[in-house]
Structure 1
Amino acid sequence: MEFAEVVRRRRMVRDYDPNRPVPPEVRERLLAHAIRAPSAGFSQGWAFLVLETPGDRERFWAATTEGTAPDGWLTRMRRAPLLVVPLSDKSAYLDRYAEPDKGWTDRDESRWPVPYWDVDTGMAALLMLLTAVDEGLGACFFGIPPQRLGPFREAFGVPDRYRPVGCVSVGYPGAEDRRSPSLRRGRRGVQEVVHRGRW
């Protein structure tokens, strides 16, 4: 598929065919493309928790939801045969920029205007989303509620230094997949968001 077509077709898919697993070679391409994301100082401060067995996926949903009866969104999302949790590692960036070639001699976090460890990990997630489209799959990036981060960490033994920036669900779109009502707002045009030379 041409790159422009991949970008045009990229959308968040919220229902999956539970009877069609993601082929292992496709899963590996998703991950191989994710690590091609840019990272400040080539710090590569990311990790990816891959959950594809029914038990692992069920543990994820149990840890990250409140335990109430699932609504329609959750019912459809739980059908995804593959979940990938991208995690950022701030310490990799602080360590990297304290190395001699970067010119800083300490790990002072105040030098960072934005948390590039999260930004770069988010870019890795976007590469997974685009790869899914190119492979004929659907995918969705969604967040883990802050109050569920502790149970998530405990369920999977995630070290404290790694922060989940969200989760990417992947699979073949299901019969109940539908466009988000949010799309009724319309996509903002280039002329609305681009400022040339001056605000």
Structure 2
Amino acid sequence: MEFDEVVRRRRMVRNYDPDRPVPPEILDGIVRHGLRAPSAGFSQGWGFLVLTAPEDRDLYWSTTAEGEWDDWLTRMRNAPAIVVCLSNKSVYLERYAQSDKGWADRDENRWPVPYWDIDTGFAALLIHLSAVDKGLGSCFFGIPAHRLQKFKDAFGVPDEYTPIGALTIGYRATDKRSPSLKRGHRPVDEVVHHGRWAASAE
């Protein structure tokens, strides 16, 4: 698939065919594409928890959404694969304390934004687009803050890793159109500025 077509076809898919598992070799290739994401200092401070066994997926949903089901989550649960994307700040602080970077104090305040989360987000997007390229659907969504520790405990996630979100992956099933899409894309001239930030016309 041409890259332009991948971008045009990209959607957040919320319903999947529960009878069509993703072949392991395809899922493995999709996740490996995430490892090609850029990262500050080539730190690569990320981790990916891939859940395909029914008992693992059930555990994921029970620890992150138990008692909070609504229509879209019920449909999302059909996904045959879940990839949880996690960032590791300590990897970045250690990397930038090395001699070629020189921030030996490991002061987090040196970072204008949390690059560990941004870079993991880059990796998640590569996984998302790679799924589309293989004819699959995918959706990126967050884990509720009050559920994070329960999720980490259930799956033995080390303390230094922070989940930034999860991707469902699978073959698309017929679904309703998200009401959010009625908003449409913002006009290009409102979001793209050349040379100086131009105020939008009143």
TM-score by length of 1: 0.97
1:5 maps to 2:5: yes
1:46 maps to what in 2?
46
CA distance in 2, matches of 1:48, 1:63: 18
1:183 maps to 2:197: no
What is the SS of the residue equivalent to 2:100?
helix
Instruction: Map 1:132-151 onto structure 2 (within 5 A).
Output: 132-151=131-150
Q: Which amino acid aligns with 1:41?
A: G
Q: Which amino acid aligns with 2:15?
A: D
1:101-149 Cα offsets, whole Å, 9 max, x none, are 0122221000001000000000000001100110000000000000000
1:111 maps to what in 2?
110
Report the alpha carbon displacement of residue 72 of structure 1 after superposing the two structures with TM: 1.4
Q: Which amino acid aligns with 1:112?
A: W
CA distance in 2, matches of 1:60, 1:66: 9
Instruction: Map 1:23-172 onto structure 2 (within 5 A).
Output: 23-68=23-68, 70-172=69-171
Q: Which amino acid aligns with 1:78?
A: R
Count of residues in Structure 1 that have an aligned counterpart in Structure 2: 197
Q: Which amino acid aligns with 1:164?
A: P
Where does structure 1 lack aligned partners over 5 or more consecutive residues? Answer: none
Q: Which amino acid aligns with 1:105?
A: A
Where does structure 2 lack aligned partners over 5 or more consecutive residues? Answer: 198-202
CA distance in 2, matches of 1:181, 1:80: 21
2:200 maps to what in 1?
none
TM-score by length of 2: 0.95
Runs of 4+ in 1 over 2 A off after TM superposition: none
CA distance in 1, matches of 2:94, 2:128: 29
Q: Which amino acid aligns with 1:14?
A: R
Report the alpha carbon displacement of residue 66 of structure 1 after superposing the two structures with TM: 3.4
What is the SS of the residue equivalent to 1:188?
coil
Report the alpha carbon displacement of residue 179 of structure 1 after superposing the two structures with TM: 2.2
CA distance in 2, matches of 1:99, 1:106: 10
1:149-187 Cα offsets, whole Å, 9 max, x none, are 011011101111000000000000112x23211010111
Q: Which amino acid aligns with 2:13?
A: V
